[in-house]
Structure 1
Amino acid sequence: MFQFVMILSVCGFTVAQEKRLLCRTDDLDILYSNCSGGPHTNTFSFEVEPCSLKDHSVWMGTIFWIPRADLTILSAHVSLSFKGFEAIKWESVLCHGVDDDYTFCGALKGETINTTVRISGAMPTYPKGEYTVIFKGFSGYYEELIACMNYTVIIKQQL
């Protein structure tokens, strides 16, 4: 289950927006919308290849982002819900300000980030159905919301 969250995390509900298709395969559909609202709604996106959970344990995630704040301190909050119940809640500090693991740490407000990360893990198994994954990114010690994505993942067959 952790790999599934990691695929979509590199999103609480604030403002409903039209969902767009990220990818569609015979086992999976992923739709997304930005949930932070306001004039900065198209400054964060995350895509994953291949768009499949079947027979895969390695994925490549591409992040495109123009942050609304400096990324000296960056926290991520991810929740996964299934059938209306929160199944997973994960929070982590991604950028600490020193000796950070990610290349985007230290990026300045308005600087374009376009990077690819490798995601790997054990072969996941999930029941057929619709999942909601919410990713929120917070900057600084006071945790200012600077990114919010809402993903709908439809698993079409038992994996």
Structure 2
Amino acid sequence: MKTFKAAPLIFLLIYTSIGWPTHSVCKNSHLEIYYISCDPLQDFAFTLDSCSGLTTGSVNIRAATVLRHSIRELFVTVNLFFNGKSIPIFSRQLCEQNHPNLSFCGKKKGEHVYYEGPVSFRSYDIPHGDFNVTVELFNGDQHTIVCTNFTILSR
């Protein structure tokens, strides 16, 4: 009986020490994007309709996770890592406590969050090179909701 209880714990320790798998978002002759969860306790699902949308300023995405913490307030920060230095490029409050802006604002711990739709941004030419971008969503209590490291390879 003790072996049966210990097996899941051993599996969890081995799996979390190995880490989450790297997921491919898109790949074409000029651009490759991959991501891996930087939250050791939770993976994250993310898809992008096409790589070409990234140069037009609007792209359709799908993202999903199961909440480990409730989100009455939700904040996002995006940092670019270049030559070992973190450069903050975006920070915004997505959900306010009494003013839900998005459909998943107000979701409770254990609920499934799913977003499908367009994301608009200023269009930039993606420079050639390899970049790492970290996107972190956290609630008003500073608990991580989603943390993801993107690797962008532009040729």
Q: TM-score, normalised by structure 2?
A: 0.77
Distance in 2 between residues matched to 1:103 and 1:35, nearest whole Å: 24
**Identical aligned pairs, as a percentage?**
24
Deviations, residues 50-73 of structure 1 (Å, cap 9, x unaligned): 123575332101111111111111
1:31 and 2:30 aligned? no
Matched ranges for 1:138-157 at <5 A: 138-140=138-140, 142-156=141-155
Check 1:68–1:55 CA distance in 2 against 1; reply closer, same or farther (3 A cut): closer
- Give the structure with the larger helix fraction: 2
The CA RMSD over aligned residues, in Å, is 2.2
Q: Distance in 2 between matches of 1:57 and 1:108?
A: 32
Q: What is the count of residue pairs matched by the alignment?
A: 138
State the AA in 2 paired with 1:152: T
Counterpart AA for 1:150: N
Call closer, same or farther: CA 1:153–1:27 in 2, change over 3 Å. same
Structure 1, gaps ≥5 residues long: 1-14
CA shift at 1:123, angstroms?
3.3
Q: Who is 2:24 aligned against?
A: 21
The 1:143–1:127 alpha-carbon spacing in structure 2 relative to 1, beyond 3 Å, is: same
What are the superposed Cα offsets for residues 87-134 of structure 1, whole Å, 9 maximum, x if unpaired? 443222211112221111011111112221312344311320011110
Give the gaps of 5 or more residues in structure 2. Answer: 1-17
